[in-house]
Structure 1
Amino acid sequence: MRVRIGAQFVALACAWGSSFLFIKVALDGLTPAQVVWGWLVLGALALCAVMAVTRSRIPRDPGLWLRLSVVSVLLCVVPFLLFSWAEQHLDSGMASILNATTPLVTLAVSAVALADERLDRRRTAGLLAGFAGVLALIGPGSLVGGGGHLMAELACLGATACYGVAFVYLRRFITPRGLPAVSVAFVQVTIGAIIMLAATPWLAAPAPRIDAPIALGMLALGALSTGLAYLWNNNIVQAWGAVNAAAVTYLTPIVGVTAGVLLLDERLTWNQPLGAVLVIAGVMAAHGAPRPAQRPVVVPEAAVEPEMAEAEVEQRVVR
């Protein structure tokens, strides 16, 4: 059991960390909007298969679907578009590191919007360290010269800001319902796919060019990073708990940078490791390091689902 869950943890880190590599590959023949179109449509199909395997139920409350439409725009459509546009000007490794600021942005939004998430000294120190990491990542050249790189970096930070707002919205309005995380993910990704399908006439030009690497990259984004990743994440949360499962956040930028350097010949600059260390240190300081796993306790399913849903909310780094 430990070996199987450990393998799924590694696979989850690789799936979410390499998603920025897949975006970069897909941009060779697709526009950013076309990448997001394929990402969400394939992701919805993959999650439909996951729903069938796990025998999860589709929520039927119209009010819930309306609230999840807000989540879909903030958690899928807008940030996916921003990251895809940004990677026209940024290396995939840089985008993956900037994506790692999501827990810090979520903490900042939570401190403002949620009464029980006020900042203390530890969290404030984590935010300051993470902010220093962002400044190190952007670098003095971009701050002074501006240009496409700075705008792309700001687009990535705008995407993480969308994530932060969406996670707080989910925690306030969706998590208390105790819904299975897979069901919530399926609805939000499906709504995003419907939005992109409705926009198809405006996304057809220029005509997409799809070769084998692009097709494999899109399949990986949809089936791997959005489909199987949710199933693995749920299994890890059930076996190890939400806090330990969240440790995957520390590994995804390492995977993203390594994949970019080894597979795309991206150049690693001095400020990227420094910024990544500061960002990860800030996340660990603000949220705490993983705790030793406890022996699993059998509890009713209804008592497990809220924890699963909240853990899924906090980890969605399409990620």
Structure 2
Amino acid sequence: MVYAAYLTICFIFGTTFLAIKIGVDEGFPPFLSAGIRFFVAGLILFLWMAWRKKASFSLLLKKEMMITGMCLTFGTFATIYWAEQYISSGIAAVLCATAPLMIVIIQTTVLKQKSSRLGFIGCVVGLLGVVLLTLPSLKGEMHVNWLIGCIVVLLGQVFYASGSVYMKHISHRMGDASPVTLNAAQMILGGLMLIGLSLVTEPVSFEAFSSVPAVSSVLYLIVVGSMIGHSLYYWLVIKTGPVFPSTWLYVAPFIALTLGVLLYNEFFSWTTVLGGLTIVAGVLMVNANHLLRLLRKSPVSKTTSYQ
């Protein structure tokens, strides 16, 4: 069951980037699309947890959750949705794999935490991968908006990394709230911020709601991407710990690249693949110690201790 759930989240998270791209290309305003997705998904999950007596509405008023929602949902996905107007879904997915590198950079530069030599080398390797990934733009083969889109996605990963570090720092203040409840709360608040951003930056238009592909993409992202995908992810965190589920970052980008090329005729070059492999190699080096500990203890054997 653990491995089945893991393969499922890898596939789901790999498909969400193409779903975002379809919705944006069909004319759905990016910020509105992201806001609806996360607000609706978060609200349904939160109400479900409240019905089970595992969520308190006072959680939505905590500044910690507002900051988390601003980083993990608002900042992360406002940038991804906006950027996918100009870059392919596969490129967006690979660039999102830099999140662990951003976490290490923040921990060492802002929090002044010591990093291992291998972790430092991993960051350098990962950033080299980003350069390889953006080579078509640097050679003048892509439009300038393509390069800007790549930079914006990387900025979003700084938001994500900041939110992750902050959430780890303040998790003890959240009492006994489950990870699913905390995630639902930050999705609600981040979704509201995205809708607010849409109201002040995007023209009011209901044409996108008449597009079957656009509406289907939003529904898919709400139900499959956010509700099922994230719930399975946090179930795996409970069953196995945080390291094993997070390895989806090494698999999903290449699923996204493949789907984008095969189903959506997206741009493909060997520098893209090389850049993606280099980024993943850097992330593997950054997480080497955690992964070695994971290999010594099978996720399935650890699951039995919870039963």
Instruction: Identify the match of residue 16 of structure 1 among 1, 13, 18.
Output: 13
Residue 244 of structure 2 corresponds to which residue in structure 1?
A: 244
Residue 126 of structure 2 corresponds to which residue in structure 1?
A: 130
Correspondences of 1:84-123 after superposition (within 5 Å): 84-114=81-111, 117-123=113-119
TM-score normalised by length of structure 1: 0.84
1:295 aligns with 2:302: yes
Q: Deviations over 1:100-128 (max 9, x none)?
A: 1111111111123335x411111011111
- Does the CA contact (< 8 Å) of 1:50 and 1:231 recur in 2? no
Correspondences of 1:1-319 after superposition (within 5 Å): 4-27=1-24, 28-48=26-46, 51=49, 56-58=54-56, 60=58, 65-114=62-111, 117-139=113-135, 141-143=136-138, 145=140, 147-175=144-172, 177=174, 179-198=177-196, 201-202=199-200, 203=202, 205-210=204-209, 211-288=211-288, 289=291, 290-291=294-295, 292-293=297-298, 294-296=301-303, 298=305
| Offset of residue 48 of structure 1 | 2.9
Q: Deviations over 1:183-211 (max 9, x none)?
A: 11111111123334455654452434232
Q: Distance in 1 between matches of 2:237 and 2:171?
A: 18
Distance 1:54 1:108, change over 3 A: farther
1:181 corresponds to which letter in structure 2? P
> Residue 225 of structure 1 aligns to a residue in which SS?
helix
Q: Distance in 1 between matches of 2:222 and 2:129?
A: 30
- Does the CA contact (< 8 Å) of 2:68 and 2:163 recur in 1? yes
Q: Distance in 1 between matches of 2:216 and 2:305?
A: 40
> Residue 208 of structure 2 aligns to a residue in which SS?
coil
| Offset of residue 221 of structure 1 | 1.3
2:96 corresponds to which letter in structure 1? N
- Does the CA contact (< 8 Å) of 1:36 and 1:81 recur in 2? yes
2:78 corresponds to which letter in structure 1? L
Query: Which structure's residues are more often helix, by fraction?
Result: 2
> Residue 251 of structure 2 aligns to a residue in which SS?
helix
- Does the CA contact (< 8 Å) of 2:17 and 2:92 recur in 1? yes
For structure 1, which runs of at least 5 residues remain unmatched after alignment? 301-319
Q: Deviations over 1:217-251 (max 9, x none)?
A: 10121222211122211222233332222211111
> Residue 174 of structure 1 aligns to a residue in which SS?
helix
For structure 2, which runs of at least 5 residues remain unmatched after alignment? none
- Does the CA contact (< 8 Å) of 1:47 and 1:226 recur in 2? no
| Offset of residue 29 of structure 1 | 2.2
| Offset of residue 268 of structure 1 | 1.5
Q: Deviations over 1:21-50 (max 9, x none)?
A: 111111112121222222222322342365
* Aligned length, in residue pairs: 294
Q: Distance in 1 between matches of 2:148 and 2:197?
A: 25
265-274 or 229-238: bigger deviation: 229-238
Aligned residues: CA RMSD: 2.4
- Does the CA contact (< 8 Å) of 1:72 and 1:188 recur in 2? yes
2:302 corresponds to which letter in structure 1? R
Percent identical residues: 22
Q: Distance in 2 between matches of 1:200 and 1:132?
A: 34
TM-score normalised by length of structure 2: 0.87
| Offset of residue 276 of structure 1 | 0.9
